[in-house]
Structure 1
């Protein structure tokens, strides 16, 4: 099949170029159209359901409410000039079609107004609630910010929407910066490998096409399904690495075949029948790994899996079509533009053969300390803590971060971590004597919990009112209700739903805050109503439960299907199982390093970030992506060993020769991967930074300790058993290969 593909491309390369140009035009059109990217949510959790119920109330709509701190260096916040300026700005904002309501000291009850005036005398807080869901509010944010910032007072905006807007801008900047850095670094490594400009630029062309097409695909899909903004960075990170690696394998093999003084067509056939086949299986392995994310249906992780698999598919397709067409057109000209660089790892004839031979002479001496090193690196993963990205993920100079810090300093009660407790009654109104009594009891019970500093609710308006007084309110005529209640009713009540805000000084991502959530959830009954908890801490708890519940099936799927793919490629049941074990070792090492660096804060000064819990999606993304990426090198190395084993049936020779033929290529490919991934370590967003660092560490471990030391040592210990498979499976595989026609082996 691969030989036929090579012949077709060689004779119809003009058609390949034309089809690629049409596809490129469509991709650019999709990029110009743009996408509807979101922050990503986990659907179906208690926190998400509770937030939907709470959003109908003012107190519960925190996701779409902006906190605006107005400041003047000269004017007192109680002066007429300050208040006139504040009034003009807020009235202009209230006229915007996207603004639903404004709460400020102007016209608010005295008790509320006092909480919105800072003791500094120069600062005032206003809460601006936007219409629609968080997507609609985020799209309207730039216009609202422009109006609020246009007045004579200094306005600093913060809140969930401001955080999302700043995060999206930083993600775009991080992506551009990483690409500007990774391309030159990758080119430098390619020049060291190929020592010609033409050969070195070809992988970058394929990488650029793959990433551009992958991002365009994500934009197109975002109009039909929820695609998180992070997906673009994930697509760029994975797409650039695999596309350049695949192109490296193919260009390297094509140049090698040309040196045998064969024609261009014959060289192309042999290239696709060997390196092309390895690229196809490698792409399949990466796609299988990313397909594990599809088990997280109902979350943005599944969409990331689709985006990642899409860009890998583009990388494989371009590497097997556009790149061969370019090689066919160039022929020997692929070696033009000589660069006076020493070749990377390839000049020392026999280096890898000698290393593999030495390792196989001392397998236990190599295996034990290498395993201990990997286990030691992975041990910190046992201390993993998960929490969603919060405002601390933003650089200190961003407006949303500065606003949050000002809020914490000037208005600590408003800035306190607020757990949104939602009580839903089966029918009717929450405003009945019996239900007000039940709410009163629950609010006092919550206030007594360790770590809780206060409760805001419809039954906490006046300390002088007791339980009986609150129960009498539903019987009062509308005009006789206390003014505090009339104004607070819309804030806390909506039909059969009421909202309470439980305040704690414990940070949202802390274990103390999680303990409060778990304690509140133990008692669900509030009269005849049911209690639910929303808010950032509750979302973190639910996201952790979601990930833990879906991960076993995802891991079983990825590992099981990967074993099948490797068996079809290698014809052994032992090698796939060993590959699973070694992949887990390198990934565990990456996870341990991730916790040690980003959670516990080591190297925080060097990498410029604030340590904290790990984003729940990060370990999942890394596992699914790295499990497939690690197979790149596994497929290349073991397939070459398999060739030698079938020719000589000498296990030691097959291992040494396989490493000799692929060791330099694997190291070069890993160097490119590390360069691409490390470029993302300069990102401002900690999640992107952590993913780049984690993947760079995993690839480095995989290409050094695992492939160069562990593989030869374990291959030596297992001996001929490496190539064993049950006769039934071997016979089935032989019949399958015969059904697809014989495949020529490359010359040795």
Structure 2
């Protein structure tokens, strides 16, 4: 269809004598979105790559160390292109898949490599040789990387329960890309590190600055250590304040209104968007895409069909009903069947076209479809059209949400139990991860639905509604990323707790050992995903801005304030588990060391 549209549309649009012809419709909108997304992808990559390198340089100090994760990220992007090309041979893939999965794959590959390089440098500093340092680093950080990738992949797997090709195609692509990012980091890092050896700290651009600073601080004097202790001295006040702020940021989401994507996903002024705006402004809302009723059990032209069409025409919102029995309006026949009525004949049945004055993308359009379906029919009927598709899509998504939620909750509870040995920490982490999404969900409504602060992300066509699949996609991706960082933090906290038995000390130790690293990793992912907000397509703007905000909130307010507050309040209860589960963890549990 894409090739047909791109080959046909240029020949039939433009000036034709006195006519100025523009094309729109589902296929044309997809074709323009595909072309625009390719342009946007190049812009996003050009923006994200240098910023990512700067963050890596600030984190490591050494240009050599910074270039290694960046190189792994580039390899992951190349692999992502290949994966998506192969997927298109076996299934339909969304036009937005390349932008989303490329950003996700690059961000995760750089993050995972960041953790491996950090552990390798620690092992070198401890006096190990290059080969021993690589092996020790992969035994610890490499195992955690694979475990963390599993959490993201399982979170994305929840999208597979939805019978929507957009979500399913992104699930297939996302899972493969996450596995590819982890595999690239673990498999490519050893030869790279062996090649660079002890030169990993070369070209230290911050060495002159460090020479002018006083001696290095002990871990107890570090920023994250001091922040953790400050929070744990007033856990109730700080924790409650942050939780209330995050809950308040989520309040706009209670007013969310959802619809399917249409031409208004395109930038303002694009050909399809202008043509559709003209139709919306000058024709009844459903004349170009009427509600269609198929009646395979009714003979065309029968009295039963005429009576059914008459009753449909009497519904509030119906402009007219065209059928094989004639045209009906206001509960009566307006015109007898003419030559055009033959178009409504089918094999063993007929169909009716209902033109409504209701906007098919609105709540009124959905109510109209439900009213049509409630009219007693002379036989089995099927109701279609844009509004019917929207109703059925929402109903389908709503019915599958509990299953998706159960997949995420159960898988994350099991994984975090295997990692922590506790039944309390996994439950607490699920709640905290939900809070990390509140600001993003509130911003979706405040900015993209209600149109406030549009200048932050650039102009877009404001429809007063959100694309119905985006919150689900954003939840699964952001939840997986939040859990990803939880694994790195909790592994260090547990390591110290097992060594000392001091919960407060363990939290401060874990925060200090991972705070700088997780912050850098979160910044990289936020920049890579946030670069999608520079897109001219509103759906990519929404996903990019929302995911970037979720990652930043998780790395700052949740990891920096809520986690130490909650850990301090629960104390030793954090690590509680029934004895049978303790024995299970002793046998099958996973740790970083």
TM-score for both structures, normalised by structure 2: 0.92
Distance 2:542 2:80 in 1: 22
Change (3 A) 1:317 1:469: closer
Report the secondary structure of 1:321's partner residue. helix
- Counterpart of 1:138 in structure 2 is 2
- Whether the aligned pair in 2 keeps the contact of 1:424 and 1:496 (CA below 8 Å) is no
- Counterpart of 2:300 in structure 1 is 431
- Counterpart of 1:391 in structure 2 is 263
1:588 Cα offset (Å): 3.0
Distance 1:147 1:468 in 2: 38
Could you tell me which of 374, 383, 386 is aligned with 1:533? 383
- Counterpart of 1:455 in structure 2 is 321
Distance 2:326 2:399 in 1: 38
Could you tell me which of 227, 230, 241 is aligned with 1:369? 241
When the two structures are aligned, how many residues end up with a matched partner?
Answer: 581
- Counterpart of 1:77 in structure 2 is none
- Whether the aligned pair in 2 keeps the contact of 1:430 and 1:495 (CA below 8 Å) is no
- Counterpart of 1:14 in structure 2 is none
2:479 is equivalent to residue 610 of structure 1: no
Distance 1:496 1:726 in 2: 65
Aligned CA RMSD, in angstroms, stands at 2.5
- Counterpart of 1:358 in structure 2 is 230
Gap runs ≥5 in structure 1:
1-136, 471-483
Q: Output one character per residue of 1:618-673: Cα deviation in whole Å (capped at 9) or x when no partner.
A: 11111211111101210111100010011111101100011011111111111111
- Whether the aligned pair in 2 keeps the contact of 1:419 and 1:533 (CA below 8 Å) is no
Distance 1:710 1:290 in 2: 25
Q: Output one character per residue of 1:711-743: Cα deviation in whole Å (capped at 9) or x when no partner.
A: 100100111111111111111222336xx9xx8
Moved more, 506-515 or 361-370: 506-515
Change (3 A) 1:395 1:497: farther
Report the secondary structure of 2:354's partner residue. strand
Distance 1:414 1:681 in 2: 30
1:680 Cα offset (Å): 0.6
Report the secondary structure of 2:355's partner residue. strand
Could you tell me which of 689, 698, 711 is aligned with 2:550? 698
- Counterpart of 2:251 in structure 1 is 379
Change (3 A) 1:508 1:163: same
Q: Output one character per residue of 1:150-187: Cα deviation in whole Å (capped at 9) or x when no partner.
A: 87544322222211111111122222221121111211
- Whether the aligned pair in 2 keeps the contact of 1:178 and 1:680 (CA below 8 Å) is yes
> For residues 186-335 of structure 1, what are the structure 2 equivalents within 5 Å?
186-297=52-163, 299-335=165-201
Q: Output one character per residue of 1:211-243: Cα deviation in whole Å (capped at 9) or x when no partner.
A: 221232122122112222222222113212211
- Counterpart of 2:362 in structure 1 is 510
2:350 is equivalent to residue 498 of structure 1: yes
- Counterpart of 2:339 in structure 1 is 486
- Whether the aligned pair in 1 keeps the contact of 2:140 and 2:592 (CA below 8 Å) is no
1:396 Cα offset (Å): 2.3
Distance 1:273 1:533 in 2: 58
Could you tell me which of 448, 473, 481 is aligned with 1:621? 473
Gap runs ≥5 in structure 2:
none
Moved more, 577-586 or 515-524: 515-524
Report the secondary structure of 2:238's partner residue. helix
Change (3 A) 1:698 1:151: closer
TM-score for both structures, normalised by structure 1: 0.74
- Counterpart of 1:421 in structure 2 is 292
2:406 is equivalent to residue 556 of structure 1: yes
Distance 2:392 2:489 in 1: 41
Report the secondary structure of 2:380's partner residue. strand
| Larger-gyration structure (1/2) | 1
Distance 2:385 2:528 in 1: 36
Change (3 A) 1:696 1:708: same
2:496 is equivalent to residue 644 of structure 1: yes
